[in-house]
Amino acid sequence: MRTCYLFSMPILPGATVGILGGGQLGRMLAMAARPLGYNVSALDPDPSCAARFVLNHLHTAPFHDVAEAAALARECAVVTVEIEKVAVAALEAAAQHAPVRPGPEVLAVIQDRAAQKRWLMGHGFPLGAYREARSAEEIASSIQALGGPCIVKAAREGYDGKGQARASTPSDAEAAWQAIGARPCVVERALHLEAECSVLVARRPGGQVAVYPPSLNVHVNGVLECCVLPGPLPTKTVGEATEIARGIAEALRIEGVLVVELFLTAGGALYVNELAPRPHNSYHTADVACATSQFEQAIRAVCDLPLGETQVVRPTALFNLLGDLWAGDSPLCIDRALALPGVKLNLYGKRVARPGRKMGHLLAEADTPEEALARVRAAARALGVR
């Protein structure tokens, strides 16, 4: 009997997958698309972006370039994103020529923190206390209303803690407003965090969903330092985090992958921190930990192929390598790090190492998550991380 593809239209090998963005996530998406038999084109403003060596074609253009986004889509069977700040008009222009997954309407909600929080709140997902603000005065009254130390976050274009400022009292409002570039923002009550975690969900256009076990994430100064899969978290937390993430992916009807970042408070409550409609730093561990990497899963999802297995077959931890590591005169001790058991290195091929810039990561596998974390930290020290 012939299969009826009424709800399923797989994009078959030989086709070209387009990626809006050519950073490290785009590079790894492209590398996962290759063994599945796809060609890959991307659009990025930087001609020496991390993905440049693994693409058939790089369109060098800004993320608001409507004509180039359309040109990319014309040569592709499907277009996806590795970064959420692509202009909605560019996504809509691409969608005239090929399916864009996740779609412009999903990106429009996620790329604005205020819109994202409104959507989450409206759909009944748990959020920490926050206010929206459009001036220093509104920040001051928000801090007053929230009643304690706050984090002011620009509504658009923040990443790795950029576009954020701490503000303890209303008198800090003006400095915070200036620090974030005097832009519309959200003011969040600073929470006492017991832990942070994230959950990756993949969803196909027809609705098939696959959820990964939660990752436990450790941030330093707003940047992910290390994480481990599976996150050693209470069973109740694992269950709740999984259901929240699945619920968000289904309510958004996302096509592709979605990562939900969550805060766990000392009292055991979970709050959604933010959403990412793309592969995520905290799931590089799945390259080793799981039968299906997040990148292969994203390609399967956007090409409408059956999703792969998501269970952990080997606990794995990650340590991010930031540009600071390249600042000194001494070379990285890569041989010492790779001599340790179970350790792997992934460098992103970025030309310029700026402080705080993600340049690569280490992975370490082990029998338990705790041991994997200890190993990856030892590897980072061996490499030269202080």
Q: List contacts with Mg ion (CB under 5 A).
A: 261
Which of ligand ADP, Mg ion, none does residue 191 bind (CB under 5 to 8 Å by kind)?
ligand ADP
Give min distance, CB of 220 to ligand ADP, in A: 8
Where would I find the H helices in 39-111?
66-74, 88-95, 104-110
CA atoms of 94 and 78, how far apart (whole Å): 9
Which of Mg ion, ligand ADP, none does residue 303 bind (CB under 5 to 8 Å by kind)?
none
Beta carbons of 126 and 270 less than 8 angstroms apart = yes
Q: Does 126 participate in binding ligand ADP (rule CB under 6 A)? A: no
CA atoms of 43 and 212, how far apart (whole Å): 29
Q: Does 84 participate in binding ligand ADP (rule CB under 6 A)? A: no
Choice from 15, 127, 190, 334 touching ligand ADP (CB under 6 A): 190
- Phi then psi for residue 306, to 5 deg, are -55, 140
Which are the contacts of 63, defined by CB distance < 8 A and separation ≥ 6? 20, 21, 43, 45, 83, 85, 86, 87, 90
Interface of this chain with ligand ADP, residues 14 to 73, rule: CB under 6 A:
none
Residues 139-158, one symbol each (x = binds ligand ADP by CB under 6 A, - = not), give: ------------x-x----x
Query: Which residue bears the tokens 């390598």?
Result: 321
Which of Mg ion, ligand ADP, none does residue 151 bind (CB under 5 to 8 Å by kind)?
ligand ADP
- The number of beta carbons lying within 10 Å of the beta carbon of residue 225 is 16
Which of Mg ion, ligand ADP, none does residue 232 bind (CB under 5 to 8 Å by kind)?
none
Give min distance, CB of 99 to Mg ion, in A: 28
CA atoms of 273 and 265, how far apart (whole Å): 12
Choice from 120, 155, 191, 200 touching ligand ADP (CB under 6 A): 191
How far, CA to CA in Å, does 73 sit from each of 66, 70, 240?
Answer: 11, 5, 38
Residue with the CB atom nearest ligand ADP in the bound state: 219
How far, CA to CA in Å, does 245 sit from each of 159, 270, 291, 292, 376?
Answer: 20, 11, 20, 19, 27
Q: Does 222 participate in binding ligand ADP (rule CB under 6 A)? A: yes
Name the nearest CA neighbour of 294 among 33, 20, 19, 13: 33
Residue with the CB atom nearest Mg ion in the bound state: 261
Which of Mg ion, ligand ADP, none does residue 265 bind (CB under 5 to 8 Å by kind)?
none
Choice from 196, 255, 296, 304 touching ligand ADP (CB under 6 A): 196
Query: Which residue bears the tokens 């998501």?
Result: 310
Closer by beta carbon to Mg ion, 139 or else 227: 227
Strand partners, 57: 41
Q: Does 121 participate in binding ligand ADP (rule CB under 6 A)? A: no
Give min distance, CB of 160 to Mg ion, in A: 8
Q: Does 273 participate in binding ligand ADP (rule CB under 6 A)? A: yes
Give min distance, CB of 299 to Mg ion, in A: 24
Choice from 82, 172, 274, 296 touching ligand ADP (CB under 6 A): 274
CA atoms of 106 and 114, how far apart (whole Å): 14
Which amino acid does the sequence have at 239?
G
Q: Applying CB under 6 A, which residues contact ligand ADP?
A: 128, 151, 153, 158-161, 188, 190-191, 193, 196, 219, 222, 261, 273-274
